[in-house]
A = this chain, B = another copy of it.
Amino acid sequence: MSPQMALPVFDPAAIKKAVAPQLVLDTIRDALIAHAEGRTSVPPPLHMDFPEAGGDCHVKAGWITGTTDFTVKIATGFYRNPALDLPTNHGLVCVVSAHTGQIRALLDDRGLLTAWRTAAAGALITHVMARPDATTLAVYGTGEQARLQATWLAKLRPLGTVLVHGRNQHKAAALCNDLTAHGLPARPASAQQAATADIIITTTPATAPVLNAAHVREGAHVTGIGTDMPHKNELPPALFHRAELIATDDHAQCLDHGDFGHAVRAGATTRDSDIPAGLLLKASVDRPDTAITAADLTGIGALDAALASAVLGRLLP
């Protein structure tokens, strides 16, 4: 019994072949603006637990109001999988017509689109908030997002040396080699050294701040992209206290489970001190050269819909 090709299913290789980073950046820029303007629809997610297997399943849907497609994203995390030689995370993005409800295609993307939209959102917001002449980038973390944040930001502005801070020296060295080989000179740095860069991006699963706010220089910009659950925390409250401009990708989410929320609860800033990140992409940011700026990104479901729809436009011409 062979499977029937009733629905097109695209894997990461097909998606990578069809889509250039510029399309992702353009799509995510528009989607961040749409979200800031209230033109997105994101229902409460569906959640299931599998305690005996150490797993869970989240289903998230999103739509940029008025656009062609919405998406339903199924994502599982089964934390004992590495012992079985299987990836911890699995998932699927289902692209559905918002005009007729017909399922157009499935993206068996193995997390690729989520990684891309996170990278694009981080690079876009960082670029627009950092000083125009800032060139030194530091990344905290040595995973896929650390690599993507550096390489995608380099598509938006010239970068000098990239400082890489990671707890694992081998992984930090490997990322430096990788970035250097791709034309971005990089070297490992201590947490304190990294905190003195012009531009700082944190990409870790940390549960306590990874840098000391006192080490951050005047004129620096800091973007945190790793804090997506209440128990996580990358950026110290004192950084938000020092910051003259704070952007959040979603005000309610960042208050609930972002670094911004930690800072508000610590009394370091007020709950109305942030502005929507998407609004900064519409007009140039007015920032004094000596100001510290900060962005807290927790991930927006509607961006998945925008990106999946754009990707499908290339895959199903």
Contacts and interface: CB of A to CB of B under 8 A. Distances in A.
A100 to B, nearest CB: 5
A101 to B, nearest CB: 3
Interface stretch (A68-76, A142-150, A181-189, A227-235): A68-76
A8 B6 CA distance: 10
Interface residues of A, number: 57
A3 B317 CA distance: 12
Interface in A1-56: 1, 3-11, 13-14, 17-18, 41, 43-48, 50, 52-53, 55
A240 B7 CA distance: 45
Q: Which residue, A10, A48, A105, has most C-beta atoms of chain B within 10 A?
A: A48
Contacts of A92: 7, 94, 103
Contacts of A72: 46, 57, 59, 74
A77 interface: yes
Q: Which residue, A6, A77, A90, has most C-beta atoms of chain B within 10 A?
A: A6
A42 to B, nearest CB: 9
Contacts of A13: 4
Nearest to A13: B4
Interface of A: 1, 3-11, 13-14, 17-18, 41, 43-48, 50, 52-53, 55, 57, 59, 61, 63, 66, 70, 72, 74, 76-78, 81, 84, 86, 89-92, 94, 96, 98-103, 105-106, 108, 314-315, 317
26 contacts: A1-B14, A1-B317, A3-B105, A3-B315, A4-B13, A5-B9, A6-B9, A6-B10, A7-B9, A41-B48, A46-B46, A50-B101, A52-B66, A55-B98, A55-B101, A57-B101, A59-B59, A59-B61, A78-B100, A81-B101, A86-B100, A89-B101, A90-B96, A90-B101, A90-B102, A92-B103
